Amino acid sequence: MKKYPFLMYFTLMMVGLCAQEQPIAEIGYYSGGSDLISLGSIPGAVVNYLDIQGTSKLKSLMMEITSPKGKKNQAIPLNTNGSFSVRYFIRTGPGTYKINLFGSKSATSLQYQGLAYFTLKVFEGTYPTDDGVLNGKVLDFVNKVMGQTVGRGECWDVVQEVLDQEGADWVRPLTYGRLLDPQKEAVLPGDLIQFLSLRIDEKLPNGGSRWEILGSPDHTSVIYEVLGPLHYKLAHQNLSGKRFVQVTELDLNKKTSGKYWIYRPVSALSRL
């Protein structure tokens, strides 16, 4: 049997290099955190996504991501047994990221306690895009809850629930994804629109007129159907005192005052 000592040495050296290139993150826990969350192995260096899995005894889980470009929070969806396994898409470029995990005993709470933390090294790479992927899921959700009251019945609750449920990349309270320019880009069903004290004035065929205000001062809607340039059917709730999801028509070409912003929902994570 022939021996190849040089080949063996080279193979071992390459294995050692690979191990060095894929370090494991050192996980720290806040006081009491290790009793409330259990995390699987987490890589210490990645290119364009982070896989994270584990179990939690709490009802909701939030990940705070601090990158060289700023800080953001991302809800992590939990299964009914408290387990989670998600892939978080990184679109903010290379650098050192600090990750904090927070949890709450309530699924709708705004008060969270610190659970765990670790540091992540992100290298330069091709960062993922999925423009339009979430639009269909937004519409599926709207159709499912049509005629029903979502959350407290506030207009914002519809968008908040579906974006968190689908792991969207958004910044509370009103930045729902990638901001669109409807004069230059196609608006799609499933896009989201935010109004600020917007007024529509319309002349009727019989010589009369009608007006409508969206936002006192804010109102949030889902674009349900595109009828033409700046002309949409909207799905929303808490409109004209009706706190359930309904569809109405809006022609922004007849806007006389106020502002609006249209967003394309973008995935921040997916379930594994």
Give the pLDDT mean for 125-141. 83
* Local confidence band at 128 (pLDDT 50, 70, 90 cut-offs): low
What domains are defined for the chain?
A: 24-122 (2.60.40.10), 135-271 (3.90.1720.60)
**Angle ∠(163,150,115) on CA atoms, nearest 5:** 50
Q: Strand, helix or coil at 155?
A: helix
Question: Is pLDDT at 167 greater than 90 in this prediction?
Answer: no
pLDDT in tens, 46-57: 998 999 999 999
* Local confidence band at 130 (pLDDT 50, 70, 90 cut-offs): low
Cis peptide upstream of residue 43 (ω within 30 degrees of 0): no
Q: Which tokens sit at 67? A: 């990158």
Question: Is pLDDT at 124 greater than 50 in this prediction?
Answer: yes
How is residue 28 annotated by DSSP?
E
Type of residue at 5: P
pLDDT at 272: 85
pLDDT at 132: 77
Please say whether the beta carbons of 101 and 112 come within 8 A: no
Question: Is pLDDT at 19 greater than 60 in this prediction?
Answer: no
Type of residue at 235: A
Give the pLDDT mean for 202-228. 92
Question: Is pLDDT at 15 greater than 60 in this prediction?
Answer: no
pLDDT at 224: 98
Please say whether the beta carbons of 245 and 145 come within 8 A: yes
* Local confidence band at 17 (pLDDT 50, 70, 90 cut-offs): very low
Sign of CA dihedral 251, 252, 256, 262: positive
pLDDT at 178: 92
**Helices 155-165, 135-145: inter-axial angle, 10-degree rounding:** 130
Tell me how far apart the alpha carbons of residues 47 and 164 are, in angstroms, rounded to a whole number. Answer: 24
For the chain, the average pLDDT equals 89
Please say whether the beta carbons of 245 and 146 come within 8 A: yes
pLDDT in tens, 1-13: 444 443 433 334 3
* Local confidence band at 129 (pLDDT 50, 70, 90 cut-offs): low
Q: Which tokens sit at 263? A: 């967003």
Report the run of H or E that residue 20 belongs to, with start and end.
helix 5-21
Nearest-Å Rg of the Cα atoms of the chain is 24
